[in-house]
Structure 1
C-alpha cells in the first residue's frame, strides 16, 4: 500500500505506555499534520516512523514495505528538525549535498540535485554563502533542501518553524505548502500550532495522551468535531463552552439566563451538557448582562473577552471596535442552529 500505514502501533518507555495502539493511513502524496498539546505523543510518533524511536508493538509500513524494525537509513525518509543542524564551515551547496557525498554519489549527480532543490526553494543566489550569513528562514530552507536532494519516499517535519518569528512563520508556511504542491511528495508534519495545521494540511490527526482523537480534513474537524477536546483545540480563538442541563424538556443555560431552543434528540431529561459556540457565532446586541473584561482590536476584527452572569468566560468575534481596557456590559445573541452539544461527563459530541 502506498504512503505510510500504522497498524496498532504502541510505544513504551519502561512501564509507561505513551503511544496507545495507533492506527493511521497517510496516502501517497498527502500532507498530513499531527497536532495536539505538548506531551500528546506527536513527536514520538513521528520519530517512530523515522526509526529514531523503537516501536514497542504494531507495524509501520512505508510504500508497502514493513519498516517496523528497519534502520532509519533504510526507510526512505528524510527528516527536518526544529533546529537547522547546518555545518557552519560549509556553504549552502555543501550542506545540501553533504549526505549524498558521504554516500558516495558522483559529483555531477550531487550538483544536479542540489541545483534542482535550490531552484525549488529559491536558494540559487545563496549557494555560496555560509549559514552565518543567512536569516532564520533561509537556514530552514537549506535544511529542507538537504532533505529534498535525498529524494525520500516520505518527508518528516518536526516543528520546523517553532524557532522563527511570527512573520517568518507565515512566510515559511506558504513556502512548505508550495513545496508540497510542486513535488507532490508524502509529508508528515508535527506542530502544536493548530493555525499551521489548518492552513497547511490535507489531513489533520488530532492527538491527546498518545491516542488519536479524530482524523479528517481541516474544515471537517472545524465544522464537525467528534468531542469537546477537538472542538476546543481546532479553531482560533477556541470554541466557547457553557454549562447547561435539560429540565422539563428545555435546555437551561445559566450563562444566557434563558432556555435555548434545540432539536437535538440526545438532549434527554436531566442530562448535563456543555454547549459550544464559535466566537463568530455570537453577536453583540447593545447593552446586557455580559461584562467586557478586555478587547483585542486587530483592525478588521475585534476579539471581545466577556464574563457571563454565571461567571463563565466567553470570547466574541465582532467587527465593532471596543475599549481595549474593557469596562461596561453588552448583550449577546446567537443562532441556536450554530450551537454544538457535548456530554458534560464524557466530552463526547451529542449529535
Structure 2
C-alpha cells in the first residue's frame, strides 16, 4: 500500500482553469474524503489521480513513484464508479475476476483472490448469480470486489453510493468502513454528502472552486472550521448564520432577538457574522421569533423559526414537545458555542 502526494496540481480545459495549484498529502492506509458542492473539482481531482484526466501542471506521486504522466493501468490504483458497470452476461465470480483473466493470471490465482474478496464483502453465496439477480447494494459490493482482486496500492471511489436508496446508503457506508478497517488500504472517496464524509473519513478535504478550503479530521473541521464556508458545509443540519454588530468586545445579534454575546479579541468594532449550530440553540421564554414549522422525529426534533429581520433559523431539540406553528418563542445560545467570522471574506475570527 502507498500514500498519495499532490504537489501544486493544476487542471485546465483550454483557457478555463478548474483545479488551482492543489497541494495535498494522503498518508499510507488513510481514508481520505474529498467533499464539496457540485462543480467544486472533487471528481476531476480524483480522475487526475487515476490518470483518467491529464494533469496540466504539477506532480502526482503514489508512494515514491511520480505517476503524473503514467498510464492509468500502471498507476497501481483501482476505481469504483457511481455506476456499477458490471457485465450482465457474467456471473458475480466472472465479473470480479475478469480484469485478472484479461491480464493472463492463472485460474487458481484468480479463484483464490475472488474467493478472498467474496469473503471480505460477504458475497460468497452470490458468486454464481448474475447482476440482474442482485440488489443495488450487492451490485456495488461486486464492483468493490472487482477492485479488491486487483490488489491496488490505492482505492478510488467516485460517489459510489449515489444510486442507492437511503437505507442501502447507510448499509454500504458501514460495509466500506469495515472494508477499510479489514484491509487497511489507502482509500480516496469523493462525495457531495458531508454525512458520508464525517462517518467514513480519517481526513476530509473540503473543496470549493477547485481550491482546498480546509483539510483535517472530521471533528476538527466540525469544531474548528477555518472559514464560514467550511462551517456551513460540515454539519447536518447546517450551521445558522447571523449578521452581528461588534463594539467593545461584545456582539449584538438582531437575528437572535438582540442577544449580546462575548467576542474574542480578534473581533474588532463593526459588522461581523455569527455562526451557531442548531444543537447549541435553545427555545426560551420570549416573543422574538415565530415558529414556522417543527419536525418531530422521535429522539430528535427540528424547529424552524423566523426572526424579526426574516433570518431563518434551525433549532435542534431532544425532547418530544413542539411549539405550534405561528407560536412566538425566544432563543438562547449555549455558553461559548458561537463562532465569529469576518463579514467580508468569511474567515474565522478566533
Q: What TM-score does the superposition give when structure 1 sets the normalisation length?
A: 0.97
Deviates more, 1:64-73 or 1:286-295: 286-295
Cα distance in 2 for partners of 1:283, 1:119 equals 48
Structure 1: gaps of 5 or more residues: none
Q: How does 1:193-232 map to 2 (within 5 A)?
A: 193-232=193-232
Give 1:48 shift. Answer: 0.1
Cα separation, partners in 2 of 1:135 and 1:347, compared to 1, 3 Å: same
Secondary structure of the residue that 2:58 maps to in structure 1? strand
In structure 2, what is the equivalent of residue 332 of structure 1?
Answer: 331
In structure 2, what is the equivalent of residue 12 of structure 1?
Answer: 12
Q: How does 1:59-98 map to 2 (within 5 A)?
A: 59-98=59-98
In structure 1, what is the equivalent of residue 128 of structure 2?
Answer: 128
Q: Are the equivalent residues in 2 in contact too, given 1:291–1:306 (CA < 8 A)? A: yes
Cα separation, partners in 2 of 1:155 and 1:254, compared to 1, 3 Å: same
Give 1:263 shift. Answer: 4.2
Matched positions, count:
350
Cα distance in 2 for partners of 1:324, 1:249 equals 34
Q: Are the equivalent residues in 1 in contact too, given 2:50–2:72 (CA < 8 A)? A: yes
Cα distance in 2 for partners of 1:18, 1:324 equals 47
In structure 2, what is the equivalent of residue 289 of structure 1?
Answer: 288
In structure 1, what is the equivalent of residue 306 of structure 2?
Answer: 307
Cα distance in 2 for partners of 1:324, 1:105 equals 66
Cα separation, partners in 2 of 1:258 and 1:327, compared to 1, 3 Å: closer
Q: Are the equivalent residues in 2 in contact too, given 1:294–1:323 (CA < 8 A)? A: no
Q: What TM-score does the superposition give when structure 2 sets the normalisation length?
A: 0.98
Give 1:334 shift. Answer: 1.0
Give 1:33 shift. Answer: 0.2
In structure 1, what is the equivalent of residue 278 of structure 2?
Answer: 279
Structure 2: gaps of 5 or more residues: none
Give 1:2 shift. Answer: 4.3
Give 1:261 shift. Answer: 3.0
Cα distance in 2 for partners of 1:74, 1:130 equals 30
Secondary structure of the residue that 2:152 maps to in structure 1? coil
Give 1:321 shift. Answer: 3.5
Secondary structure of the residue that 1:138 maps to in structure 2? helix
Q: Are the equivalent residues in 1 in contact too, given 2:257–2:330 (CA < 8 A)? A: no
Cα distance in 1 for partners of 2:36, 2:340 equals 22
Give 1:258 shift. Answer: 2.8
Secondary structure of the residue that 1:55 maps to in structure 2? coil
In structure 2, what is the equivalent of residue 253 of structure 1?
Answer: 253
Q: Are the equivalent residues in 2 in contact too, given 1:12–1:56 (CA < 8 A)? A: yes
Cα separation, partners in 2 of 1:325 and 1:131, compared to 1, 3 Å: farther
Cα separation, partners in 2 of 1:35 and 1:324, compared to 1, 3 Å: farther
In structure 2, what is the equivalent of residue 179 of structure 1?
Answer: 179
Encode CA deviations 1:280-306: one digit per residue, 9 max, x unaligned: 000111442211111111110101010
Q: How does 1:101-180 map to 2 (within 5 A)?
A: 101-180=101-180
Encode CA deviations 1:311-330: one digit per residue, 9 max, x unaligned: 10110001244569722111
Give 1:331 shift. Answer: 1.1
Encode CA deviations 1:123-182: one digit per residue, 9 max, x unaligned: 000000000000000000000000000000000000000000000000000000000000
